[in-house]
Structure 1
């Protein structure tokens, strides 16, 4: 019996051979969250869940070439951007995406450092952050990334509130302390919602930020509000974190799981 049509979404991200992060993690998440995911490779990495050796960047022209036939053929309503080589060229990519699909919603997960231990980017200039964030559907930094994106603020929370004047910001709480992990959504300079799950003793997972942002994109593509998508994305990610005690989380394999 055929399944009903699924919304189309696009991930522009790096290829992680361990499949914990990047394109492979995004597409696993998309599938289980009930959307059809396309993948455009922005970087080829040599890494595992605990070791990062090197990266080979995909030129911007090749990124566009990968995405163009997909955007021409399919009604892609949402895109997630992860690892990119040069943040100063990201506005050009964003402009190009919007020229191809004027109504596309974009979520940026700012991958500035690999969890296996490699710095991709130093902090961009404030004017570049304003340019990048203006018009985004959501920015999903963890606390160190938020501090790096807006170092003038005294705390990650203050930085998120400031940047949320340009786009909504979901500040991830995985790097904080305490028995609970709380992500906070900011819009227009104000905190608007909190999403809390218990902090698990073996809950650290390689690529968990990629899974969360991909799960949120899937929720948005399925018609959820931003708050609903953040809540359902957080719940899905929590299940991946609880799936086993290794650094590589398991996704789930039936439609009931996908819709939770």
Structure 2
């Protein structure tokens, strides 16, 4: 009997902080990547003390040690896609950008974690500028929510759904006219959640009814890491984006399967296995 050739499972790297509750950051990324059929690797960019109700402390990893983690990993493992979470300092952003330029992974997905739930900007002006000029041009996909998009575009105010296509177009320009922009509209009011996706040619809307749950901790992490896992396994970025959107909706809808903490709980990353 002829032996079937095995399909290589893609290796996907997450650069993110560690949330001990497992709802966001590196631990959530690893769950998502694994649930979607890829092999998860991780580089730690920060340690946090947090649960579902609060963040009580953050300890940044030095840029030099982040470099060492990346160089050691890339020297041995063929990385097919990279997902980038919060990079809190200018020096960290520059270090990661230089390492990515050196190793040139095929897919780079950036979740620009920049705005706290309170609305406060988490990054300094210099860090935001470094993200714009050094990181965005390297990315194949960026996944900002509306508050993050406003910071990247240097704007203030309260955007509406009708503003999203124009914002997506301007973000595409910032990314060097080559990235897929996945602009998330979950912060808007209404019974429908609208995401706008733009590749420089086509603008699509992904819509769905709002799911009534407070288990939304780490949804941005799940979406961006789902994209990183699916891009090497999909025929096109559009197919990966649609699959990632649908995966996250189901993970939110099934979040009642698990009971983690008393605050904003996580989604169920492994919903399809239960």
For the criterion TM > 0.5, the same-fold answer is yes
CA RMSD of aligned residues (A): 2.6
Residue 9 of structure 1 is matched in structure 2 by 12
How much has 1:52 moved relative to structure 2?
1.1
Q: Unaligned regions of 5+ residues in structure 1, if any?
A: none
Q: Unaligned regions of 5+ residues in structure 2, if any?
A: 1-5, 260-264
Distance 1:130 1:83, change over 3 A: same
Higher strand share: 1
Distance 1:230 1:202, change over 3 A: same
Distance 1:228 1:153, change over 3 A: farther
User: Which of 240, 243, 248 pairs up with 2:251?
Assistant: 240
How much has 1:125 moved relative to structure 2?
5.6
Residue 59 of structure 2 is matched in structure 1 by 56
Indicate conservation of the 8 Å contact 1:115/1:207, yes or no: no
Number of aligned residue pairs: 253
Q: Residues of 1 paired with 2:235 and 2:56: CA distance?
A: 39
Deviations 1:54-107 (A, max 9, x none): 2000011111211222211111011011011214641431221231x2343211
Whether 1:164 and 2:172 are equivalent positions in the alignment is: yes
Whether 1:252 and 2:270 are equivalent positions in the alignment is: yes
TM norm structure 1? 0.87
TM norm structure 2? 0.83
Residue 145 of structure 2 is matched in structure 1 by 142
User: Which of 104, 107, 132 pairs up with 2:106?
Assistant: 104
Distance 1:180 1:204, change over 3 A: farther
Moved more, 89-98 or 137-146: 89-98
